A and B are shown apart, each in its own frame.
Chain A
């Protein structure tokens, strides 16, 4: 990255960002292209004919013309190369295709579902990061004591537990014992409005959100704990301690900012993993997000929804990673050079 300009005065941030973009964007475009092709190929590698799923398994009762007509309507009579070309040119024009099963544009379906997934993943990301870092700070502050060991054990356990299992446990436990949280859906089916609706949406968020938080808080905790342990022995912490500052102040004010760099990076990188977990969690709680849509599309071999939905998810994850790449120099002065 560095050239002759290094050391010859202060770098101009805007200029740097542009140059970084010039290097990174082609890389990301290539990634998106490869991912888009995979999104096209993978659904078609699954066995099972979409027309058969659509018309019912006893489609053989229909006259062959009816089946041929249906194939033609869905564009499945064309050679794969033509289908691929149409898909790519559609993407360029911003057209994600038309769902086989829903008979609606994929973009409309995604517009309805994406906000729910973003709400779920976003709030889970926020809560699990705050919770993980706070627990780590408390644990390091009292490292080696009972609370540290306990948090370490619990978080290691959660980290290695599959989300659907946590989800099922929460579902059964809350269903059987604490019947004040909704067990299914992203909103009540009775038509509430205004503030009541906001409360209703938040309530529906609790169980799926908690599942995602529980299944991801361990990773944050372990990472934050390791980075904090790295800085806690540094000289400036010793200086702070020598100044007579309270341990809690040292942990949160001095150690945490220094240790935040890997944590911040991991937050952005974890968006992909959380989105993957959301697919499963949405199904357990019948949450009306992209995950439910995609899972059903995969059972029904609804190629356009799979292609389009996965493409948008790819864009989101790649976009967040790009954001991380661009933000990193601002967080870490060392990489600016």
Chain B
């Protein structure tokens, strides 16, 4: 029996080697190429995100989903790998002095994949179509109209000035072809029809939970992409994706390694790409719930937590600590005065003493009357770093007499408990007291997020998970959004950070480094898009 089994396995092995076609991913120089960038035939990119069809309405994740979509579609401006906006479909864009009229001049000769030209009519159509079929990412209610004096000029007329207009929509909104979408009434149903855009790649095959296949667009207006075909097999777990890269069954992966695997993936033919990111983990406190309704109490919690220790222990040093002013310290609008959090258990103790919480029964946990300082710390169970960090937080606040029970929940449940309910049309109340959860890089890339994150109005503060209310902050947040002058805006943003550092509705704890594994022999010029990932236009287009 055993011998037969072995024979069977060997037999299958022979079939395997006979079946596998030649690799097709060896790099070979393009004849007559002016640059030394090699032309790569096929790249296999393990995708751990269950992406659907990649239209603006059916696409799911931020990374890699949005970046897969922008291989097919183009935006008017583009964020370079450092997060700075650059012209893209637009040759240039500028606003009038009031910041109410944005004139965008398009590149000549840009075509969609089906050969039809991309004109200002498509820009106008995209805006109007999105106004009718809104997506949370692109709420365009502030755009009054788009004028199209000629096919290469689009003028956005705004109702109010918007300081972040270049970041979003200009550098974020994909331009869709009018001749295709004008007949589509239910865009959310576009789950099987392959998208047609103007981007460097065409999506030529999509089988859900199996594969996305991209083919280079040889006529791309910014030059032919350096990789001919990108195959993105869906791999459901990160461990399997990493193993696939390790064994050479995939060339790179969309998921970032946990820090302890870094050394293992930097040997043999393996390398890692990445860096310090903006994707971060934040300690959120429900300001609507006692005792977290008192700023002193929230300050005590922040002072009790040891940021540096979390980065050193949970991330093995591969990460950066957060700042009390909420804003990432390497953004241009970061307020230097609120950069550094200080781990200060004694300050935490005296703040708690001052509020009247003392450990009267000597069990190591403070209390006042019948109120004991014991709470559930909610976090997500699908990220090992989050669970480790939550344990460390629990240990360090125990030193000052507060007991936190780590409660790891599945992502959707954790989200539903910590998300303000008015996101789905009810009254604002989160069903949590204290929680550890993450925000995507986008939150630190556009300062306008500071308004959504902490504004007390349910219409504007759509991301206000801590239920924070401060009229002075609201006022400043409203001012910065319209402040077209950059220096003036940064002054206001600085004041907002002062308030946040004092009131502490949320404490940014740490930003894990991104560490993406890849096979160097298959492709070795991955460009890390700061805080996001390695699959993007910068990686796939030769510098010009």
Residues of A within 8 A of B (CB): 46-49, 51-53, 55-64, 66-68, 70, 73, 101-104, 131, 134, 138, 168, 171-172, 174-176, 179-190, 192, 196, 199-200, 202-203, 206, 283-286, 288, 292-293, 296, 299-301
Asked if B12 is at the interface of the complex by the 8 Å CB criterion, the answer is yes
B208→A102 contact, CB < 8 A: yes
Is B536 close to A, CB under 8 A? no
Closest chain A residue to B213 by CB distance? Answer: A189
Give bound CA distance, A292 to B240, whole Å. 14
If A59-B423, A176-B243 touch, does A103 touch B191 (CB 8 Å cutoff)? yes
Contact A292 B425 (CB under 8 A): no
A192 to B18 alpha-carbon distance, docked (Å): 12
Q: A172-B243, A181-B12 are in contact. List 11 more A-B contacts (CB 8 A).
A: A47-B412, A52-B419, A52-B423, A58-B423, A60-B422, A180-B17, A202-B15, A203-B16, A284-B236, A286-B209, A296-B50
- Please name the residue on chain A nearest to B212 by beta carbon: A189
CB within 8 A of A47: which of B17, B192, B247, B416?
A: B416
> Which of chain B's residues have a CB closer than 8 A to the CB of A60?
136, 420, 422-424, 458, 462-463
Q: For residues 381 through 427 of chain B, which have their beta carbon under 8 Å from a beta carbon of chain A?
A: 410-413, 415-417, 419-420, 422-425
CA distance A86 to B246 in the complex (A): 49
Interface contact A196-B19, CB-CB below 8 Å? yes
State how many angstroms separate the Cβ of A4 from the closest Cβ of chain B. Answer: 51
Question: Contact between B412 and A176 (Cβ–Cβ < 8 Å)?
Answer: no
- Return the CB mask of B239-271 against A: 1 if under 8 Å, else 0: 111011011110000000000000000000000
CB-defined interface of B176-189 with A at 8 Å, one 1/0 digit per residue? 00000000000011
User: In the complex the two chains form, what is the Cα distance from A187 to B15 in whole Å?
Assistant: 14
- Could you say which of B21, B208, B249 contacts A190, with CB atoms under 8 Å apart? B21
B136 touches A56 (CB 8 A): yes
B139 at the interface (CB under 8 A from A): yes
When the two chains form the complex, which single residue of B17, B52, B191, B416 contacts A49, counting CB atoms closer than 8 Å? B416
CB-CB contacts of B331-345 with A at 8 A, as 1s and 0s?
A: 000000000000000
Say which residue of B21, B235, B247, B422 sits within 8 Å of A176 (CB atoms). B247
Decide yes or no whether B120 CB sits under 8 A from chain A. Answer: no
In angstroms, Cα B244 to Cα A181, docked, is 11
Q: Are A67 and B425 in contact (CB under 8 A)?
A: yes
Q: Nearest-CB distance from A19 to chain B (Å)? A: 43
State whether the Cβ of B377 lies closer than 8 Å to any Cβ in chain A: no
Q: Please name all residues of chain A whose beta carbon is closer than 8 Å to the beta carbon of B494 when the two chains form the complex.
A: none
Chain B nearest Cβ from A63, distance in angstroms: 7
Q: Which residues of B contact A49 (CB under 8 A)?
A: 416, 424
Q: Which residues of B contact A101 (CB under 8 A)?
A: 52
Chain B: CB-nearest residue to A52:
B424
Q: Which of B19, B208, B237 contacts A283 (CB 8 A)?
A: B237
Tell me the complex Cα distance, A202–B15, Å.
Answer: 10
In contact, B249 and A183 (Cβ under 8 angstroms): yes
B residues less than 8 Å from A53 (CB atoms):
412
Residues B412 and A179 in contact, CB atoms below 8 Å apart: no
Q: Which of A190, A286, A293 contacts B240 (CB 8 A)?
A: A286
Task: Check if B487 is an interface residue, CB within 8 A of chain A.
Answer: no
Q: Evaluate contact between B462 and A171: CB separation under 8 angstroms.
A: no
Among A49, A176, A179, max chain B CB count under 10 A is at: A49
Please judge, given known A-B contacts A199-B15, A286-B234, whether A183 and B416 are in contact too, CB under 8 Å.
no
B13 within 8 A of A: yes
Answer whether residue B467 sits at the interface, using C-beta atoms and an 8 A cutoff.
no
Q: Offer 13 A-B interface pairs, CB within 8 angstroms, sorted by A.
A: A49-B424, A52-B416, A56-B135, A57-B415, A60-B420, A60-B424, A61-B462, A103-B58, A104-B191, A172-B243, A184-B249, A189-B44, A190-B21
Bound form: Cα–Cα A166–B17 in Å: 25
The yes or no answer to B3 lying at the interface (CB within 8 A) is no
Which of A47, A185, A199, A285 makes the CB contact (< 8 A) with B19?
A: A199
Question: Would you call B153 an interface residue if the criterion is a C-beta within 8 Å of the partner chain's C-beta atoms?
Answer: no
**Which B residues are in CB contact (< 8 Å) with A189?**
44, 210-211, 213, 231, 233
Check if B134 is an interface residue, CB within 8 A of chain A. Answer: yes
- Once bound together, how far apart are the Cα atoms of A102 and B366, in whole Å? 50
Q: How far is the CA of A181 from the CA of B241 in the complex (A)?
A: 15
Closest chain-A Cβ to B9's Cβ sits at a distance in Å of 8
Given the known A-B contacts A58-B463, A184-B240, A284-B237, are A64 and B425 also in contact in the complex, defined by CB atoms under 8 Å? yes
Give the complex CA separation of A2 and B291 in angstroms: 71
**CB-CB contacts below 8 Å: B195-251 with A:** 208-211, 213, 231, 233-237, 239-241, 243-244, 246-249
Given contacts A58-B423, A184-B249, whether A301 and B52 have CB atoms under 8 Å apart is: no
Contacts of A196 in B (CB 8 A): 19
Given contacts A58-B463, A189-B213, A293-B209, contact A180 B16 (CB under 8 A): yes
Q: A299–B412 contact, CB under 8 A?
A: yes
Out of A47, A175, A179, A183, name the residue touching B413 (CB < 8 Å). A47
Chain A nearest CB from B243 CB (Å) reads 4
9 closest residue pairs by CB, A with B: A60-B423, A60-B462, A175-B243, A48-B412, A48-B416, A175-B247, A189-B211, A286-B236, A58-B136
Q: How far is the CA of A174 from the CA of B50 in the complex (A)?
A: 24
B18 surroundings in chain A (CB, below 8 A): 199
What residues of chain B lie closer than 8 Å to A180, measured between beta carbons? Answer: 13, 16-17
* B248, A192: Cβ atoms closer than 8 Å: no
Query: Taking the complex as formed, is B33 at the interface, i.e. its CB lies under 8 A from any CB of chain A?
Result: no
**Any A CB within 8 A of the CB of B544:** no
Say yes or no: A203-B243 contact (C-beta < 8 A), given A46-B413, A63-B134, A286-B234.
no
- The answer to whether A57 and B423 touch across the interface, beta carbons within 8 angstroms, is yes
- A62 to B141: give the CA distance in the assembly, Å: 10
B452 adjacent to chain A (CB < 8 Å):
yes
> Bound complex: CA of A119 vs CA of B526, how far in Å?
39
**In the complex, are the beta carbons of A200 and B19 less than 8 A apart?**
yes
